[in-house]
Amino acid sequence: MNNFTFYSPTYFAFGKGTEKEAGRLIKRFGGSKVLIHYGGGSVIRSGLLDRVKESLNKENIEYIELGGVKPNPRSGLVYEGIDLCRKEGIDFILAVGGGSVIDSAKAIAAGAMYEGDFWDFFEGKPIEKALPVGTVLTIAAAGSEGSGDTVITKEEGMLKRGAGSEVLRPKFSILNPELTQTLPAYQTACGAVDIMAHVFERYFTNTKEVEITDRLCEAILLTMIKEVPRVIKDPNNYEARANIMWAGMVAHNNLVGVGREQDWASHGIEHELSALYDVAHGAGLAVVFPAWMTYVMKHDINRFAQIAVRVWGCHMNFANPEETAREGIERFKQFLKSIGMPTTFKELGAREEDIPLMVEKLGLGENGTIGSFVRLNSKDVENIYRLAL
Residue from the set 94, 102, 250, 355 that interacts with its own copies by CB under 8 A: 250
CB 13, min distance to its own copies, A:
5
Amino acid at 359: V
The residue from 192, 240, 283, 288 that contacts its own copies (CB under 8 A) is 240
- Smaller CB separation from its own copies, 8 or 369: 8
14 counts as binding its own copies under rule CB under 8 A? yes
Q: In angstroms, what is the minimal distance from the CB of 172 to its own copies?
A: 9
CB of residue 11 to its own copies, shortest distance in Å: 4
| Secondary structure letter of residue 344 according to DSSP | S
Q: By C-beta, is 113 or 255 nearer to its own copies? A: 255
# of chain residues touching its own copies (CB under 8 A):
45
Binding its own copies by CB under 8 A: which of 66, 101, 189, 242?
A: 242
d(Cα 173, Cα 369) in Å, to the nearest integer? 35
Region near its own copies per CB under 8 A, out of 108-116, 150-158, 244-252, 268-276: 244-252
Query: Do the Cβ atoms of 62 and 27 come closer than 8 Å?
Result: no
Instruction: Give residues 23-52 in contact with its own copies (rule: CB under 8 A).
Output: none
> Least Å distance between CB 26 and its own copies?
15
Closer CB to its own copies, 171 or 281, in the complex: 171
- Does residue 22 belong to the site contacting its own copies (CB under 8 A)? no
CB 211 within 8 A of CB 5: no
- In this chain, which of 3, 115, 124, 367 binds its own copies, going by CB under 8 A? 3
CB of 23 to its own copies, least distance (A): 16
Across the strands, what pairs with 152? 161
Distance CA 198, CA 218 (A): 12
Out of 101, 189, 247, 273, point to the residue binding its own copies (CB under 8 A): 247
From 116-124, 247-255, 286-294, 317-325, give the range in contact with its own copies by CB under 8 A.
247-255
Q: Does the footprint of its own copies cover residue 315 (CB under 8 A)?
A: no
Q: How many angstroms separate the CA atoms of 143 and 197, rounded?
A: 11
DSSP 116-158: S-GGGGGGTPPP-----EEEEE-SSSS-TTT-SEEEEEETTTT
Sheet of strand 172-175, all strands in order from the earlier edge strand to the far edge: 62-66, 33-38, 92-97, 133-137, 172-175
Q: How far is CA 113 from the centre of its chain?
A: 24
- Measure the CA angle with vertex 136, ends 134 and 139; round to 5°: 130
Alpha-carbon distance of 107 to 124, in angstroms, equals: 14
Subset of 140-199 contacting its own copies (CB under 8 A) = 177
Does the footprint of its own copies cover residue 312 (CB under 8 A)? no
Long-range contacts of 343-346 (CB under 8 A, 24+ apart): 343/286, 343/287, 343/290, 343/388, 344/287, 344/388, 344/389, 345/287, 345/385, 345/388, 345/389, 346/389
What residue type is assigned to position 222 of the chain?
L
Nearer Cβ to its own copies (154/230): 230
Q: What are the CA-CA distances from residue 221 to residues 114, 275, 292, 344 (Å)?
A: 39, 27, 18, 22
Q: Interface with its own copies includes 231 (CB under 8 A)?
A: no
Least distance to its own copies, CB of residue 70, Å: 30
Query: What does the per-residue mask of binding to its own copies show for 191-230, with x meaning CB under 8 A?
Result: -----------------xxxxxx-xx-xxx-xx--xx---
239 forms part of the interface with its own copies (CB under 8 A): yes
Decide: 20 and 51 in contact? Cβ < 8 Å.
yes
Question: Which residues sit at the interface with its own copies, rule CB under 8 A?
Answer: 1-18, 177, 208-213, 215-216, 218-220, 222-223, 226-227, 239-240, 242-244, 246-247, 250, 255, 258-259
